[in-house]
Amino acid sequence: MAQSLTHEMQVELRPDSGVIVVEDTITVAKPVDRFEFILNAGLEIDASNASITKLTESADGRRVAYRAVPENPTTQLVLRYRGAPLFGKRRQMGGMPEGEVSAKGVYLDSNSAWHARFDQPISALDLRVVLPDGWQSISVGKRAVAGTTQHWRTSQPHDNLYLLAARYQRYAVQHSETELSVWLLDDDPELAERYLNVMGGYIDHYAKLIGPYPFAKFAVVENRWQTGYGMPSFTLLGSRVMRLPFI
């Protein structure tokens, strides 16, 4: 199924129970008679417009391959899945787990197959996240907020779908057409200002060297684990890392 593929998703995060509840409308450019994808084995799945068959399970038991067959060829597949995603014990940089959905925070990326993974990049994303009071989410794309729902949208291709959430304190300024923001686990306006004062200058500097900055935002996000990760439109820095004077 090598054609454009978009996700229109609504995700409810229930951190206290470790559960996510997702409705995902996948759209492709031309009608197909089947959709094949991978999903985390901790999630129960059904489709409103197709019959689903389990194909194989990964050796570690954490991912399942499915085939969804609609009654007639179609460009859309509507999936609903919910449950507590299963994560491996392997640790990444700074001791960070493969993924997390807990009262301390949420970290999800495509490696854990928390969403339906197809064998091609995501062409565009429309993601609405329903959160507990006081929580903030961050993902790829441009942000909008309505009550406890946060909306992320991008029309740029991505090969990884990130979703993070916690009780962040958010600080933001506008720099030309790019929103600059800092997301901290504790209120620290001075630290946020240090970053906001220089981020725009760096974007302008590198734009002159390699071309215009392609994203709607750039965000510095604090992490409980001591990481130094770069994702499309944001960076994930450990609490101690981002307070180092040379950073």
Residue 104 pLDDT greater than 60, yes or no: yes
One-letter amino acid identity for 53?
A: T
User: H or E segment at 55?
Assistant: strand 50-57
The region of weakest confidence among 62-66, 227-231, 233-237, 242-246 is 242-246
pLDDT, one tens digit per residue, over 13-54 is 999 999 999 999 999 999 999 999 999 999 999 999 999 999
Q: Would you say 56 and 66 are in contact if contact means Cβ atoms under 8 Å apart?
A: no
Residue 221 pLDDT greater than 70, yes or no: yes
pLDDT, one tens digit per residue, over 110-125 is 999 999 999 999 999 9
Q: Would you say 63 and 113 are in contact if contact means Cβ atoms under 8 Å apart?
A: yes
Higher pLDDT, 246 or 206: 206
pLDDT at 245 (0 to 100): 85
pLDDT at 2 (0 to 100): 59
Q: Where does the pLDDT of residue 90 fall: very low under 50, low under 70, confident under 90, or very high at 90 and above?
A: confident
What values do phi and psi take at 133, rounded to 5?
A: -55, 135
Considering only the C-alpha atoms of the chain, give the largest distance between any 2 of them, rounded to a whole number of Å: 60
One-letter amino acid identity for 158?
A: H
pLDDT at 80 (0 to 100): 98
Residue with tokens 């992490």: 223
